[in-house]
């Protein structure tokens, strides 16, 4: 797999530190956001106040779809309902990093890929997937180290690619707000 496909456009310490104004100025009008370890801790439904405030502000001017590789669709629904945003649970053939799920999310938002950014904590599922769809990619640090065993395996690949990106000077500096 080409290294450039794993390259995020921005690396940010946490979701609420993503600069919404800068995204808007760049022409971004839609956000596809990962759920677990990006919005909430794995399996949790609690959104930290500062993150909730960020999401509520974002929902005022961006189309938002939460895109999650999850079989727990009801938890996703409750969170998305609370925020008043679109949601899409993908599993099997359309799971991230596959293109189908991203394509479905774009259709839900009636969004063009040039005007859409993906924000997620996994280099393989979120960034690689979004990159292949031509989306603007923002990689955030995971909220917690607790995660699904499949995710833990994906982190091994993530570490290899992160190291290679770093060695080639392709990894943007981390924005800490
Ligand atoms: Mg995640």
Instruction: State pLDDT tens for residues 140-151.
Output: 999 998 898 888
- What local confidence, expressed as pLDDT, does residue 107 receive? 98
- What local confidence, expressed as pLDDT, does residue 8 receive? 98
CATH number for 149:
3.40.50.1000
State the Cα torsion 128-82-88-125 to the nearest 10°. Answer: 20
Spacing, Cα 149 to ligand 1 middle (Å): 12
Instruction: State pLDDT tens for residues 80-133.
Output: 999 999 999 998 888 999 999 999 999 999 999 999 999 999 999 999 999 999
- What local confidence, expressed as pLDDT, does residue 72 receive? 80
Spacing, Cα 28 to ligand 1 middle (Å): 21
Residues sharing a CB contact under 8 Å with residue 7, sequence separation 6 or more, in sequence order: 127, 131, 137, 165, 170, 171
Residue 132: domain span: 3-175
Spacing, Cα 2 to ligand 1 middle (Å): 22
Question: Total domain count for the chain?
Answer: 1
């Amino acid at each position: 797999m080409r290294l450039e496909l794993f390259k995020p456009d921005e690396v940010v310490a946490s979701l609420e530190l993503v600069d919404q104004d800068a995204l808007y100025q760049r022409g971004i009008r839609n956000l596809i956001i990962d759920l677990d370890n990006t919005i909430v801790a794995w399996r949790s439904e609690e959104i930290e106040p500062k993150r909730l405030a960020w999401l509520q502000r974002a929902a005022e001017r961006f189309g938002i779809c939460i895109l999650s590789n999850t079989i727990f669709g009801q938890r996703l629904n409750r969170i998305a309902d609370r925020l008043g945003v679109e949601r899409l649970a993908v599993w099997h053939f359309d799971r991230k990093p596959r293109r189908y799920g991203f394509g479905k999310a774009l259709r839900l938002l009636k969004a063009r890929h040039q005007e859409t950014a993906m924000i997620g904590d996994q280099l393989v599922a979120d960034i690689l997937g979004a990159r292949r769809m031509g989306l603007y990619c923002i990689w955030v640090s995971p909220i917690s180290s607790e995660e699904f065993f499949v995710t833990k395996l994906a982190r091994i690949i993530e570490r290899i690619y992160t190291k290679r990106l770093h060695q080639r000077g392709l990894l943007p500096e981390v924005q800490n707000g």
